[in-house]
Amino acid sequence: MSWEVVIGIEIHVQLRTERKLFCANRVAFGDAPNTHVCPVCLGLPGALPTLNPEAVRLALRTALAVECTVHERSVWARKNYFYPDLPKGYQITQFEEPLATDGRVVFDVDGAERSVRIRRIHMEEDAGKLVHDRFPGVSAVDLNRAGTPLVEIVTEPDLRSPAQTRAFLAALKQILEYVDVSDCNMEEGSLRADANVSLRPSGSETLGTKTEIKNVNSFSGIERALEIEIERQRGVLEAGGSIDQQTLLWDDHRGAVRPMRSKEESHDYRYFPDPDLPTLRITPDTVARARSALPELPRARRARFVTEHGLSEYDAGVLTQTAATAGYFEAVAGGIADAKTAANWVMGPVLALMNERKEDATGFAVGAPRLVALLTLLREGVVSDGAAKKVLGLLATEDADPREIVEREGLVQVRDTGQLDAWVAEVMEANPDEVQRYRDGETRILGFLMGRVMAASRGKADPRQVNELLRSALES
Amino acid sequence: MTRSVTTRIRESEAGPEGLNAFITVVEESDVPTDLPDGPLQGVPVAVKDNIATLGLPTTCGSRLLEHYRSPFEATAVRKLREAGAVIVGKTNLDEFAMGSSTENSAFGPARNPHDRTRVTGGSSGGSAAAVAAGYVPMALGSETGGSVRQPAAFCGVAGLKPTYGRVSRYGLVAFASSMDQIGTFGRTVADAARLLEVIAGHDPLDATSIDRPAPDLTGALDRGVDGLVVGVPSEYLPDSLDPGIRERVDRALARLEREGAELREVSLPHSRFAIPTYYVIAPAEASSNLSRFDGVRYGVRTEGDDIGDMVEATRTHGFGTEVQRRIMLGTYALSAGYYEQYYGRAQRARGRIVQDFRDVFGTGVDALFTPTTPTTAFPLGEWLDDPVQMYLSDVFTVTANLAGIPGMSVPIGTLEGLPVGGQILAPWWREETAVAIGSVLESTLTEEVR
Amino acid sequence: MSVKREEVLRIAKLARLRLDEDELERMTGDLNSILEHVDALGSLEGDGEIAGTAFEEGPSTRDEEASDGERGLDPSVVAPAWRDGFYLVPPPPGVHAEGDGS
Ligand SMILES: [Mg+2]
Ligand SMILES: [Zn+2]
């Protein structure tokens, strides 16, 4: 029988704040252990949390970027469990009354448009790190990360395949980067996704028993983990067995999932409102201001590029991949008032050069104004297309004006007819036989003569003009 | 002068007659000489040992924190130092402030200066005893459910519990965060009031401390009670009340009337839910607040084979019976399947208790007067094995903690040689009303206690 | 209603407390006598508002200017077990901690 796959996702996003969620320590990755800690994030007796407004701003931005309803009051709750990387013995999070609910993310997967509903978004603090590879026989605790602000984004079970899931996550990551709330670095753990997956007979409305896959740190990893788990479930179900609800850990090295040991699994979190923190209140006009401060989001920008700049869906997609690239393109297109040329250059030589130099549009050595200047020279015919590409390379290595480089490198095209006539005459004199063969009707020979003239000009002659002058000279 | 105080305390505490009021007494050589020129310059003050102090242990009366020295200081203590006060030591308490007798201390029970075979009350028993014994004129305590007012009553001193949010909780080791509040003891109402004036005020490090102008308490001392409406809630004078205590309360009320107050019988119908409500909410919050004591980052660790064993062993050996009892109770009340039946109901009952006070104070009542406790100081050991009886000695005090209103206990006489306390409850942020009433009663009733 | 021993054991596990036989007996008795008292809450009719806690009037977020940055603090001064900047703990059950201390 055929099965329908049902997938829901929980994403933890580390907010790009300067300080921790409930204390004044800096958020820092990779520093010496336990150097960004204080009484609050160490959970010392008597210490109390205070809420970082910057984290609230970024969380609000996140919620609006995925079209959530932001609630005027949301309530901090304690999630109680014991683990050495959790200093207070509870995590401060939001439970019954989260920051925001009912959003959606629209994205494309192999040509088709899909939409995933966002069930809720809440804020919470991150835990520290418990490492087992530091000392023999003992584990080690580093609490630098403890108290780092996170938002947890929970979707409805609207995804139907591992590929879709991957595409959704890519779309979500792109949105988060556009609104600039997180650096979305999966290796550093600033973006972490857990997946719930279950199977049900095609056509059935009731959900099957789900398992949860945790600990995946790449999009490809999630896709693979889901494929493997789906096959496992299919096998069990088709053998007439049943799935038991459990949490599975993804092992990236072995490329396999293993069940969490029951010890690692938690039973009863005893959530209750945190009496140390007042209700979080966000006024409607704070929400309004945050909404109007949102930048244009990827899909909207892509659509506009198609209608406003007359680009193909594909080109628009490439150029809106990141907000920086899109901004760079629009600056260039505006500067030369020619979107097509701007698109060809940005997607072609410019992106190629960026990759080669491992730069992105933000830090690209050739800023939009200098590229605009270069493309203007090209349009005016001052430089040839080939010369312009050569100049682009040079612009990346030195902070000079395109025109200077063109002149210094002697890349200006010669278009003075007197000089061109002289070269043409010189070549015709030097090659009487070829001239005769042309006049006898062997017009293919024109290319050879063109080449001689260009050679005589050491490549500087404007080929279009040479072609005209040579032809008229031969035919007179 | 202050230099000799710590020595005097050491000597008195050392003898067989020692009250065991202190867990730590400052070395005389450690007493600072150049004190800031503030309202308490040179005044010796004792601090309850669940309030973080730099340079002194902060044990919370627990084995688990026997050697713990806080690397940071409570805001209230910082303010004390800035006011020029001399911190002479850390006082004995029920472990983590959980108790009503100061018998649940890992360092032995405190004894009542009026009768050393009896309890001081608790949990701030050490601070109450230190003031009653004349070691210090004033001391800091803390309240979650009557822990300042009840020992103040048992020891015959003034005890003032401010409005929730009046004093920063930063550095007060949490028991039940929604009720915890630092309070003050004084030999006189004036001393308790002066001390509160110094520690009151908004603190950016405590999100529950409220930004309100500090009250003029010393100004209220001579206000008198003329024209004040004093409510007498019938629920706090049950027929079962000890007639001796009833008689002292009536005498105090008569005195207030003679001084120009208008007495009015009022009702706080949901007060009967106070103890059940308190004994769900306080343990629930405590079970979470005490989860941080896992032996990983501080405290006395008991080793174990794996992390689970270590944490379990540390907590089992580190916590005393009453603390374990309350952690169990609170964990149960929050656990899956019981949350609504216990915590949910208790939150609603708390809402009703708050509403009772809103209603009464909304009808022009300026303050309420009740007995502080249903009995005088009971003998050591009497109720150690009967938690419920022990809890009931807070029956008149916990409503103020549940509602967050200020309350004060002042001596209103003695019964068979033991102090009797009268309780004044005032509306939110109206500590000065309690102080005004308290100082009138003190000036006319307390001779026999001292 | 009354709490059974098994229940008390489950709660003790959650709370990371170890109870021997007599303690379990005693704890079960204590909890039941307290809960018997607490069950009075059952007679409270109607919903009624959840306690509006005193600090409802406080601001939601801190004043960043008022926060004093990284209060320098050496965690090792109170740490039960500490090496090279880390707190040391026994490994979780089944986990085999390795490493050369470098
Ligand atoms: Mg989470
Ligand atoms: Zn911190």
List Cα–Cα distances, A159 to A156, A163, A166, in angstroms: 8, 9, 10
In contact, A16 and A179? CB cutoff 8 Å: no
Reply yes or no on whether the pLDDT at A72 is more than 60.
Answer: yes
CB of B178 less than 8 A from some CB of A: yes
Q: What are phi and psi of B421, to 5 degrees?
A: -110, 140
Do the chains contact at A264 and C75, CB–CB below 8 Å? no
Any chains having at least 3 CB pairs less than 8 A from chain B are A, C
How far apart are alpha carbons B164 and B209 in whole angstroms?
8
pLDDT band of residue B426 (cuts 50, 70, 90) is: very high
For helices B274-289 and B345-362, what crossing angle results, to 10°? 120
State residue B2's pLDDT score.
Answer: 53
Reply yes or no on whether the pLDDT at B28 is more than 70.
Answer: yes
CB contacts of B350 in chain C (<8 Å) are 50-51
In contact, A267 and C11? CB cutoff 8 Å: no
State residue A265's pLDDT score.
Answer: 46
Find the ligand nearest to A91 CA: 1
Q: Which of residues 262-281 of A touch B (CB under 8 A)?
A: 263, 267-268, 270-272, 275-278
Rounded to the nearest angstrom, the distance between the alpha carbon of A212 and the centre of ligand 1 is 14
Instruction: Show the DSSP H helices in B262-344 as ranges.
Output: 274-289, 307-318, 321-334
Mean pLDDT score, C83-89: 98
State residue A252's pLDDT score.
Answer: 80
pLDDT tens for A128-158 read: 999 999 999 999 999 999 999 999 999 999 9
**Which has more pLDDT, A110 or B107?**
B107
Beta-bridged to residue B47, according to DSSP, are: B90, B140
Do the chains contact at B71 and A51, CB–CB below 8 Å? no
State residue B3's pLDDT score.
Answer: 54
Mean model confidence pLDDT for chain C: 85
Beta-bridged to residue B231, according to DSSP, are: B264, B368
Any chains having at least 3 CB pairs less than 8 A from chain C are A, B
Find the ligand nearest to A11 CA: 1
State residue B407's pLDDT score.
Answer: 98
Q: Which residue in the list B48, B79, B90, B161 is annotated as catalytic?
A: B48
Tokens describing residue B156: 């015959």
Mapping DSSP to helix (H, G, I), strand (E, B) and coil, where does residue A220 land? helix
Of the candidates B58, B206, B339, which has its C-beta nearest A48's C-beta?
A: B206
Of the candidates B208, B352, B355, which has its C-beta nearest C58's C-beta?
A: B208
pLDDT band of residue B446 (cuts 50, 70, 90) is: low
CB contacts of C22 in chain B (<8 Å) are none
State residue B447's pLDDT score.
Answer: 52
Reply yes or no on whether the pLDDT at B79 is more than 60.
Answer: yes
Give the count of beta carbons closer than 10 Å to the beta carbon of residue B62: 29
Phi-psi label, residue B121: left if phi above 0, alpha if psi -120 to 50, beta otherwise: left
Reply yes or no on whether the pLDDT at A34 is more than 50.
Answer: yes
Do the chains contact at A138 and C91, CB–CB below 8 Å? yes
B209 is catalytic: no
Radius of gyration of chain C (CA): 24
Written as one letter, the residue type at B273 is F
Give the DSSP per-residue string, B270-286.
GGGGHHHHHHHHHHHHH
Share of chain B above pLDDT 90, in %: 91
pLDDT tens for B200-214 read: 999 999 999 999 988
B177 is catalytic: no
CB contacts of C64 in chain B (<8 Å) are none
CB contacts of C98 in chain A (<8 Å) are 132-133, 136
Beta-bridged to residue C74, according to DSSP, are: none
pLDDT band of residue C101 (cuts 50, 70, 90) is: low
CB of C45 less than 8 A from some CB of B: no
How far apart are alpha carbons B8 and B285 in whole angstroms?
39
Mapping DSSP to helix (H, G, I), strand (E, B) and coil, where does residue A190 land? coil
State residue A254's pLDDT score.
Answer: 85
Q: Is the dihedral of CA C51, C53, C58, C62 positive or negative?
A: negative
State residue A216's pLDDT score.
Answer: 87
List Cα–Cα distances, A399 to A342, A362, A373, B44, in angstroms: 21, 16, 13, 72
How far apart are alpha carbons B103 and B92 in whole angstroms?
9
Rounded to the nearest angstrom, the distance between the alpha carbon of B291 and the centre of ligand 2 is 18
Reply yes or no on whether the pLDDT at C55 is more than 60.
Answer: no
Mean model confidence pLDDT for chain B: 95
Give the count of beta carbons closer than 10 Å to the beta carbon of residue B17: 10
Q: If you count them, how many residues does chain C have?
A: 102
Mind telling me how many Å the CA of A36 is from chain C's nearest CA?
Answer: 7
* Burial (Cβ within 10 Å: 0-12, 13-18, ≥19) of residue A254: exposed
Tokens describing residue A340: 């097509």
Closest CA to B387 of B100, B42, B123: B100
Q: Give residues whose Cβ lies within 5 Å of ion ligand 2.
A: A 23, 25, 38, 40-41
Mean pLDDT score, B343-352: 94
Q: What is the DSSP letter of B117?
A: T
Rounded to the nearest angstrom, the distance between the alpha carbon of B387 and the centre of ligand 1 is 38
Reply yes or no on whether the pLDDT at C54 is more than 50.
Answer: no
**How far, rounded to the nearest angstrom, does the alpha carbon of residue A59 sit from its chain's CA centroid?**
19
Rounded to the nearest angstrom, the distance between the alpha carbon of C4 and the centre of ligand 1 is 33
How far apart are alpha carbons A409 and A195 in whole angstroms?
58
In contact, B271 and B235? CB cutoff 8 Å: yes
Give the count of beta carbons closer than 10 Å to the beta carbon of residue A79: 20
Give the DSSP per-residue string, B11-75.
HHHHSTT----EEEE--GGGS-SS---STTTT-EEEEETTB--TTS---TT-GGGTT---SS--H
Q: Which residue in the list B100, B101, B123, B439 is annotated as catalytic?
A: B123
State residue A264's pLDDT score.
Answer: 45
**Which has more pLDDT, B285 or B2?**
B285
Mean pLDDT score, A456-472: 87
State residue A416's pLDDT score.
Answer: 83
Helix (H) or strand (E) holding A112: strand A112-125
State residue C44's pLDDT score.
Answer: 86
State residue B450's pLDDT score.
Answer: 46
Rounded to the nearest angstrom, the distance between the alpha carbon of A153 and the centre of ligand 1 is 9
Reply yes or no on whether the pLDDT at B399 is more than 90.
Answer: yes
pLDDT tens for B171-205 read: 999 999 999 999 999 999 999 999 999 999 999 99
Pairing of β B158-161 and β B181-186: antiparallel
Reply yes or no on whether the pLDDT at A40 is more than 50.
Answer: yes
pLDDT tens for A164-223 read: 999 999 999 999 999 999 988 888 889 999 999 999 999 999 999 999 998 888 898 999
State residue B120's pLDDT score.
Answer: 98
Tokens describing residue C37: 């008292």
Q: Name residues whose C-beta falls within 8 Å of residue A208's C-beta, 6 or more positions apart in sequence.
A: A6, A198, A199, A200, A233, A237, A243
pLDDT tens for C27-50 read: 999 999 999 999 999 888 776 666
Rounded to the nearest angstrom, the distance between the alpha carbon of B82 and the centre of ligand 1 is 42
Mind telling me how many Å the CA of C65 is from chain A's nearest CA?
Answer: 10
Reply yes or no on whether the pLDDT at B449 is more than 60.
Answer: no
Label each residue of A31-95 as H, E or C: CCCCCCCCCCCCCCCCCCCCCCHHHHHHHHHHHHHCCCEECCEECEEEEECCCCCCCCCEEEEEC
Reply yes or no on whether the pLDDT at C98 is more than 50.
Answer: yes
For helices A162-179 and A219-238, what crossing angle results, to 10°? 150
Least confident stretch, A93-107, A343-357, A404-418, B82-96: A404-418
Closest CA to A174 of A376, A390, A326, A345: A326
Nearest CA in chain B to A263: B308
Reply yes or no on whether the pLDDT at A47 is more than 80.
Answer: yes
B48 is catalytic: yes
Q: Which of residues 64-83 of C touch B (CB under 8 A)?
A: 66-67, 71, 73-75, 77-81
Q: What are phi and psi of B416, to 5 degrees?
A: 50, 45
State residue A99's pLDDT score.
Answer: 98
